Structure formats: structure tokens, C-alpha cells
Amino acid sequence: MRLDVVTIFPEYLEPLNVSLVGKARARGLLDVRVHDLRQWTHDRHNTVDDTPYGGGPGMVMKPEPWGEALDTIIASQEGDPVVVVPTPSGRPFDQATAVELAEKPWLIFTPARYEGIDRRVVDEYGERFEVRELSIGDYVLAGGEAPVLVMVEAVARLLPGVLGNAESHRDDSFAPGAMADLLEGPVYTKPPLWRGRGIPEVLLSGHHGRIARWRRDQAFLRTARYRPDLIERCDPAALDADDRKLLTELGWAERPDGRFGRTAEGMEE
Ligand code: 6GU
């Protein structure tokens, strides 16, 4: 997969040289190219921003440097990229988005500073390519560079050969399938006793069925506490008799459509 990032802070993308993404690059699984947007400016001050039409606070990124940058990068290789525009006003970036992006051969990221990029840039490239405006969550960051690091890591770990073990994604929280849409529960390793704290007996039992059940119960306990919205959305077909029993004990009630909702008892803490 080829990844281009256009930014006024190339140093901010240094973490792409480290760890999982850095190793994937070193092994030739990822071709990452970080570009300084200011190389496509032509004035003495390398200006990339200007005041907003209609007034208001802050500055807006000028369209011309972005247009020259994107034209140059797009012309450098055959084929059509997907252009990813990080913005707090975008669609939520989630695991399903990461899976879709991991199937593309070429992504170009356009992290902005200030109040964002002149709208005409998205309109222009949106007519010629797939453009995705994506937000990583409901909070505001000063720029799109940190979101690019987040999205690249989420995508890169899904590429064939990047993680050691293909099974590693199977139980991910939010992975489509088996433990679908449940948060993962706690994990333990050696030593068996640390500061007087032991390991849940069942994990030492060697009883694979009981271990799987315990893990699933732990996932429900954690999800019910931290992400009750995920329980409410849970496909009733994905819930077995033990799941239903546990949720009922936790103060959840089965609705007529088979989905679970919180009762007054379940709303406590
Ligand atoms: Cl993608 N950009 C910025 N600036 N803030 C954000 C974001 C993106 N996603 C959440 N907050």
C-alpha cells in the first residue's frame, strides 16, 4: 500500500518511522511518503493560510498549494488514490472504515491546521476521486496530523503480513465477527502472584470452554459498564442463553425486538 501525507509539520509524522508502521515500511509492505505543503508555495513567506471570506475567527488554508501538491502527487503514479481529509466535521472513523481503507492500494492524507482547507479543494478532487472526510472522535484537535497517525496505525495493522499472527485481529474490540461489538476484557501474564494479587482461577484450569465463557462474560461486564450503547445496539442473534442470563443479572431487560435495554437498576453507576 502507498500512503502520502501532505502537511506543514512533516516532523509531526516521525512516529511513522517507529514500531508497527516503521517495521511495515522497512519490510516493504508500506510505501509512506511525507511531503511539506510549503514546497508548493511561491511567495517569500511560504504562505499557506489567509483570512476567511464572510469573516470569523482564525485562518483558512489557501487552495492553491493543496491543488499543486495533490496534482503533483497524483501524477507521480498510475491509478486513483483515495483522498482522506481529517476533520472534526467528518464522518466517524471506525473499525469498519479502517477495514475499507486497508483494501485500497493508495491513500493520500491531507491534515490541515487552522480552521481547515478552502472547501473548493474537497469539491475539486471529490469530482475526480474518492474523498473521505473523517473525524477520529467528538473532541477538537489543533490539526489533522495526530488523526493521521491514528488512522494509519489502524489501517496498517490490518494489512496482510504486518501483524505476526493473522488470528491477532479476530478478537479485536470492534472486529466484525465472533466477539462483535464487545470491548475486550482483562488479560494476565506471569508471574502468577504479584503484590498479593493472583490470576482468576479459571484461566489456570486448562478448560477451554470455561475460559471462553469467562472471557465473554468479562467482555459483557466491561461493555455494559463503559459502552452501554454497544449493548443496546447488539444484534439479538449474536446473544446466546448465557449472555441473556448475564445481562438480566446486570439489570438489563430484553425488549420485544430481542434487543436489551437498561432498566432503572442497570443505570446505577
Ligand atoms: Cl480528524 N481533526 C481535528 N482537527 N480534530 C479532530 C479530528 C480531526 N477528529 C476529532 N477531532
21: how many CB neighbours lie within 10 A of its CB?
23
Annotation: CATH topology of 2-156? Alpha/beta knot (3.40.1280)
Question: In this predicted structure, what is the pLDDT of residue 260?
Answer: 97
Please, which residues have CB within 8 angstroms of residue 166's CB and are 6 or more apart in sequence? Answer: 160
Please, which residues have CB within 8 angstroms of residue 50's CB and are 6 or more apart in sequence? Answer: 59, 60, 62
Pairing relationship of beta strands 60-61 and 49-50 according to DSSP bridges: antiparallel
Question: In this predicted structure, what is the pLDDT of residue 175?
Answer: 72
Determine if ligand 1 sits within 6 Å of the CB of residue 140.
Answer: yes
Question: In this predicted structure, what is the pLDDT of residue 114?
Answer: 80
Inform me whether the pLDDT recorded for 167 exceeds 90: no
Average pLDDT, rounded, for the chain: 95
What residue ranges in the chain does DSSP mark as E strands? 2-7, 31-36, 49-50, 60-61, 82-92, 106-109, 130-135, 252-254, 260-262
Backbone phi, psi, residue 205, to 5°: -80, -20
pLDDT (tens digit, 9 = 90+) per residue, 124-161?
A: 999 999 999 999 999 999 999 999 999 999 999 999 99
CA distance 111 to 144: 4
pLDDT (tens digit, 9 = 90+) per residue, 219-248?
A: 999 999 999 999 999 999 999 999 999 999
- Quote the percentage of the chain above a pLDDT of 70: 94
Distance 211 CA to ligand 1 centre (A): 39
Amino acid in the structure at residue 223: T
Residues β-bridged to residue 260: 254
Determine if ligand 1 sits within 6 Å of the CB of residue 110.
Answer: no
**Which pLDDT band holds residue 1 (cuts at 50, 70, 90)?**
very high
Among protein residues, the one with the nearest Cα to ligand 1's atom 6 is 88
CA distance 102 to 98: 6
Question: In this predicted structure, what is the pLDDT of residue 265?
Answer: 67
Look at residue 249 and give its three-state secondary structure: helix
Is residue 187 packed enough to be buried (19+ CB in 10 Å), middle (13-18) or exposed (0-12)? exposed
List the catalytic residues: 88, 115, 157, 172
Among protein residues, the one with the nearest Cα to ligand 1's atom 7 is 88
Question: In this predicted structure, what is the pLDDT of residue 113?
Answer: 87
**Which pLDDT band holds residue 268 (cuts at 50, 70, 90)?**
low
Inform me whether the pLDDT recorded for 177 exceeds 80: no
The order of strands in the sheet holding 82-92 is 31-36, 2-7, 106-109, 82-92, 130-135
Inform me whether the pLDDT recorded for 178 exceeds 60: no
Pairing relationship of beta strands 130-135 and 252-254 according to DSSP bridges: unpaired
What class is the 170-269 domain? mainly alpha
Question: In this predicted structure, what is the pLDDT of residue 263?
Answer: 83
pTM: 0.94
pLDDT (tens digit, 9 = 90+) per residue, 44-72?
A: 999 999 999 999 999 999 999 999 999 99
- Kindly list the domain boundaries of the chain, sorted by start residue: 2-156, 170-269
Question: In this predicted structure, what is the pLDDT of residue 176?
Answer: 59
Nearest atom within ligand 1 for CA of residue 90: 1
Pairing relationship of beta strands 31-36 and 2-7 according to DSSP bridges: parallel
CA distance 183 to 185: 6
pLDDT (tens digit, 9 = 90+) per residue, 82-113?
A: 999 999 999 999 999 999 999 999 999 999 98
Nearest atom within ligand 1 for CA of residue 144: 2
Nearest atom within ligand 1 for CA of residue 142: 4
Inform me whether the pLDDT recorded for 174 exceeds 70: yes
